[in-house]
Amino acid sequence: MSAVNAKYGRHLLWLGGGFGLLTVLLGIAPWHRQDWILENALVAAALLVLLTIYRHLPFSRLSWSLVFIFLSLHEVGAHYTYAEVPYQAWWQQLTGAASEGAGALAAGRNHFDRAIHFCYGLLLAYPIREIFLRLARARGFWSYFLPLDLTLSTSALYELIEWGAAEAFGGDLGIAYLGTQGDPWDAQKDMAMAALGALIALAITFAVNFHYQRDFAREWAESLRIVAEEEAAAEDAAR
């Protein structure tokens, strides 16, 4: 095994071990056990996808780190339920002062769930872009548009899953899992936050590539060029 592969393997081992330990600790006494189970059902599905990616389409260490951060934040939300994460109390303990503004914030809506939707786009748009680069060979414009498109579509799908689960289970469990906190536009706002996060992540990626990638302009232009029928047929035959 090369030094690079060994370093890559150790990095994944640390991330996997850290996430496993965090999941166990936060799963010992969650505030609402049934909601914790529902939230982690999606994590189990995500881990199956990540295992497939590891075997057939390895991410960069940066992408694995971003996925780790997002899943860890999700585990915090699953432990408390998203609508009850006491981040205001943590902030007051950290700063050592409880101002009137902090008190007003604590009395209002809990925005932890909205922050996680923002992090969904901010942290996962780059790994999603890697999938399109390696699997679909997306280049130029499409390597930025398609990750944004998938982020929005999966965000909408998640909102539909939340709605379906709330309808199926009903009662306090359905309310806890849905987490709208009385806001009829909660789903739309969550999707908007995910889109904003993805736009920021892709804008940063665009800026870095624009500065360091020598063939950036050519690749961008090629990605928007209409392929003639003869050329497309030749490419299909070559495949």
If one counts every other C-beta atom within 10 angstroms of the C-beta of residue 55, the result is 8
Q: What percent of the chain is modeled with pLDDT above 70? A: 82
Q: Give yes or no for a contact between 193 and 121, defined as CB atoms under 8 angstroms apart.
A: yes
- Does position 178 have pLDDT exceeding 60, yes or no? no
Where are the chain's structural domains?
3-226
Q: What is the pLDDT of residues 120-132, one digit of tens each?
A: 999 999 999 999 9
The pLDDT value recorded for residue 105 is 46
Work out the average pLDDT over 31-55.
89
Q: Check residues 58 and 125 and name the one with the higher pLDDT.
A: 125
The pLDDT value recorded for residue 215 is 92
Question: What is the pTM (predicted TM-score) of this model?
Answer: 0.84
Q: Check residues 102 and 192 and name the one with the higher pLDDT.
A: 192
The pLDDT value recorded for residue 71 is 96
Q: Check residues 24 and 171 and name the one with the higher pLDDT.
A: 24
Q: Check residues 238 and 73 and name the one with the higher pLDDT.
A: 73
- Does position 235 have pLDDT exceeding 90, yes or no? no
